[in-house]
Amino acid sequence: MDSTVMKVDNPQVNFNTINDLKGLMPVYHQEYDTFYLRGEKPRPATSYDLNGTAWLRVDVESGDIVGLQIDDFESVFLKKYPELAKAWKEVKPLCVRPKSRKCPVDAEESFLLIIINFLLTLFRDNPQQESFIFLPA
Amino acid sequence: MIFQCRDRGNVSVVCSRECWEIHILADHPEMEGCETYVKAAIENPYQVYQDSKDINKKIIYKPFILPKPYNQQYLRVAIEYKFKKFRGLRGYVLSAFPCINIKKGDILIWTAL
């Protein structure tokens, strides 16, 4: 069957907003082994796959990055990037849902900086992918 | 339970209330009211991928099914399949959210085209 390629009108991710993640809250959902950076009340957003490593949560209108999701966080991600595992060990008890109210801000901020620096490196090494959807002619 | 349906391989798939409310809606508020789209995507997918890290997980993609402003994007649904002695094979919805692109690394095993 012939097929055509349709370029869809999706938001361009505004990578300049990556540093906004610093103001978000780390949350770990142990049962689903999923790590999130999100606001106290998560915003509606679409998701952008970053090289199979993480999902960036992106505002559909502005393209601003409003959150982060990493699937298989302990089972795959930390094994792939062991340099983050040590920092995670210290921060994990503060991030497991339901979130502790006694979270030391310094430890949380340090971990956020480590994660964001890691993402910035990942962006540099992986240019943005286009999104195409294949449709029948 | 939010819904139960059959995937394209005729395997029963369940979306539990706990998963929908505590996991999906809590972190993806854009999925509010989208249960029927998730069910429709499972029953009539556009593409099915094998998760690259877990042989028991499959990923369904369906474009243009969600309402605005996500109507030009994919709906991505992750399902974990478990075999139980008396129930047989059954799938459980793990996650569902809109996305711009398909996750790199997953293996395409079926497409509607």
CA distance B105 to chain A (A): 6
**Nearest chain A residue (CA) to B95:** A32
CA distance B37 to A108: 37
Q: Which residues pair with B88 in a beta bridge?
A: B84
Q: Which domain holds residue B75?
A: 3-111
Q: pTM for the full model?
A: 0.83
**Nearest chain B residue (CA) to A2:** B113
Label residue B81 by pLDDT band (50, 70, 90).
Answer: very high
Report the residue of B20, B94, B101, B108 to disrupt the A interface, i.e. the one with the largest count of A CBs within 10 Å: B101
Q: Do A49 and B69 touch (CB under 8 A)?
A: no
Instruction: Determine which helix (DSSP H) or strand (DSSP E) holds B95, and give its type and residue range.
Output: strand B88-99
Output the pLDDT for position A102: 45
Chain A residues with CB under 8 Å of B98 CB are 46-47
* pLDDT tens per residue, range A6-52: 556 677 888 888 888 888 888 999 888 999 999 888 899 999 999 89
CA distance A21 to A68: 8
* pLDDT tens per residue, range A100-114: 444 455 666 777 778
Closest CA to A64 of A29, A14, A4, A104: A14
Domain tally, chain B: 1
